[in-house]
Structure 1
Amino acid sequence: MVSIEAWFMDDSDEEQRMPHKRNPNEPVSLEELEKLGVFYWKLDADIYETDPVLEKIRKDRGYSYSDIITIHKDTLPNYEDKLKMFFEVHLHLDDEIRYILDGRAYFDVRDREDRWIRISMSKGDLITLPAGIYHRFTLTETNYTKAMRLFVGEPVWKAYNRPADEFEIRQKYIEGLSGGIE
């Protein structure tokens, strides 16, 4: 069975790399994430270069471009500044697709009621965040991840920090949710 660990976050301002689970924990199911347009696969990251399952996903979804980024203080220039930038609440005009090849990280997304959901990512996890969803990214306490970034066509790196409600893609995203976000 395909599974992912996700939960509603607490309101703590504590270090962003901590889990921030509520007490008691309030898990979020894969089905709930899919209603927000977030999709997930568990793959074998040890064979990512030749994996037929990854190749089929890429073909079916049109992911024609990819690269690999290693996020660690020894490999990423301006490491702390980049982590702060990744953690700014933003959206993209295209889907964000990430495949964790090693290490761990978190993606946080906003639900219909504007609550944060934290998605725990580890080796083998592939996730797509829909264009127009408010989200952010951070590492865990391990301070390391290696990820494949996938794109439809040429990569677009532009993030639009919140508020960005004026974008047509944001409006389309909200309209696609039953009940809307606020």
Structure 2
Amino acid sequence: MVQAWYMDESEEDPQLPHRAEPSRPVDLQQLNQLGVLYWKLDADKYENDPELEKIRKDRNYSWMDIITICKDKLPNYEEKIKMFYEEHLHLDEEIRYILEGSGYFDVRDKEDKWIRIFMEKGDMITLPAGIYHRFTLDKKDYVKAMRLFVGEPVWKAYNRPADHFEAREQYVKFLAQTA
């Protein structure tokens, strides 16, 4: 089961858990109300997993690759880690499946508070187009993840503020309907 919680306001090392005190856990239903989808899969059989294939077919995830994020595998590691942690949105869904290692996806709730989602081996997440979010590794400094897309991959991130994009406007309308 995915672990998620409201974050504290600390500016300390982003690779720390940053759990609010007192603890405020977030469940799957709350994530779903933000448009965040989650699956737990068997990462050891990702190459021939019928469950993954069904999700890909049902959601039209036609393109995929695998990225390894660690100091000795990712060119310009420090720069990329800073870029991933900048608050941003995409005009398309962001789909990530953790094959090895772990890290944190942070998403904004309806009141603009940060929710931290701990992702580890076997966790797959879809963030809707238009949601403000960011990513960082945890203290293990390593993750291997599958990136999936509908159609051709689009890597463009739009740092906040990016409220003028139609994807953001649609997302805000979606949030209003789930109130």
Q: Aligned-pair distance for 1:179?
A: 6.7
Aligned partners of 1:101 and 1:124 also within 8 Å: yes
TM-score (norm 1): 0.96
Query: Which residue of the partner structure matches residue 125 of structure 2?
Result: 127
Distance in 1 of aligned mates of 2:90 and 2:173: 16
Aligned length: 179
**Matched-pair contact (CA < 8 Å) for 2:66–2:147:** yes
What root-mean-square deviation, in Å, do the aligned CA atoms of Structure 1 and Structure 2 show?
1.2
- For 1:4 and 1:51, how far apart are their aligned partners in 2? 20
Please report the TM-score for the alignment, with normalisation by the length of structure 2: 0.98
Provide the rounded CA distance (Å) in 2 between the counterparts of 1:8 and 1:180: 19
C-alpha deviation, 1:178, in angstroms: 2.6
Aligned with 1:27 (options 16, 25, 40): 25
Describe how 1:69-148 pairs up with structure 2 within 5 A: 69-148=67-146
1:68-91 CA deviation, whole Å, 9 max, x = no partner? Answer: 000000000111110000000000
Q: Equivalent of 2:152, from 149, 154, 164?
A: 154
CA distance in 1, matches of 2:116, 2:32: 14
Runs of 4+ aligned residues of structure 1 deviating over 4 Å after TM superposition are none
Q: Distance in 2 between matches of 1:121 and 1:150?
A: 16
Aligned to 1:4: 2
- 1:174–1:180: 8 Å Cα contact kept in structure 2? no
Q: Quick check: 1:38–1:128 contact (8 Å CA) kept in 2?
A: yes
CA pair 38-139 structure 1, distance change in 2 beyond 3 A? same
In structure 1, what residue type is equivalent to 2:169?
Q
